Structure 1
Amino acid sequence: MVDSGIIILDSTDVVSKRMEAQIIIPNGNFDVSGSGFYLPLNLEIKTNTKVIWANEDSVPHNIQSQDEFGKVIDIFNSPPLNTGDRFEYTFDEAGAYNYYCSFHPWRVGIVTVK
C-alpha cells in the first residue's frame, strides 16, 4: 500500500536481496609453474549471488564456462579482461559450475551454488 509517497509492505510482500562474492585473478596467474590460482579456487555460494571476477594479473584473462568434459558452454563467458577489469555473473540455479581461462587453460576454477 502507498500512503503519501511512503511504501508500506505487508506480510505478503517479498523483498529479494542479491548477494555478491568475488574471485580474484591474482598477479602471476598466467605462469604455468606459478601458484597464482584463482582466489578462491572453489567458491561456494547461495543462489541469487552475483560473482565478480577481478583481474589483478599483469596480463589479460577471460572466464569461460565449461561442461563436465571441459568443453566451453554458453552460460557465462567474458571478453578479455585486462588488468583491473571485472566480469560479473549472477548464479540463479544450484549446481557446480566449472570455468577456465582460454588464454591459460591450466587455470581452472569452480563455483558451487547451493
Structure 2
Amino acid sequence: MKKILALSVGVVTAAALVSGCSGDTDAAGGEPAAVIEVKNMAYTPAQVSIEKGQTVQWRFNDSGMPHDVVGEGQLEGKLESELLTEGTYEYTFDEAGTFDYHCTPHPMMVGTVIVQ
C-alpha cells in the first residue's frame, strides 16, 4: 500500500510540474510565452507567434561570440538588447503585428515575432 501511495504522489507531482511548464504563460505569469535560442549564428526558432501582452525571451549561448537583438520598423530603438555572449533578454509585446529584428554585428541573423 505504501508503494502505491508513493507512486501516486509521484505521478501527481510530475503531472503538476509538466502542466506548470507549458511555455504558454504571459508576462504576468512570470514565464515567457516563447524562448528563442541565440547560438550557432542563428535565432532558433527564427519565427515565433505569441499573443498581445506576452513576453519573448532570447537566451544567448554562442561560444563567446557576442550577439544582440535589435528591432526594426516600429520597434527600432525599443527592442534593443546589449551585445551578449550569455544570459537572457526579454521583451513584452503590447501591440499586435509582425515585428522583425536582427543582430547588429551579424546582419544575416534575422528573426520575426508575430503578435496576434
What corresponds to 2:60 in structure 1? 55
TM-score (structure 2 length as normaliser)? 0.68
Structure 1 runs, 4 residues or longer, greater than 3 Å off = 16-19
Query: What displacement does 1:48 show?
Result: 1.1
SS in 2 for 1:75: coil
Percent of residue pairs bearing the same amino acid type: 33
What is the alpha-carbon root mean square deviation over aligned residues? 2.0
Q: Which has the higher strand share?
A: 1
* Count of aligned pairs between the two proteins: 87
- More relative contact order, 1 or 2 (CA 8 Å, 6+ apart): 1
Could you list the runs of 5+ residues in structure 2 that have no partner in the other structure? 1-26
Separation (CA, whole Å) in 1 of partners of 2:28 and 2:78: 22
Q: 5 Å matches for 1:8-87? A: 17-18=28-29, 20=32, 21-26=34-39, 28-29=40-41, 37-58=42-63, 59-67=65-73, 73-82=76-85, 84-87=86-89
Bigger helix share:
2
Using structure 1 for the length normalisation, give the TM-score: 0.69
**Structure 1: stretches of 5+ with no match in the other structure:** 1-15, 30-36
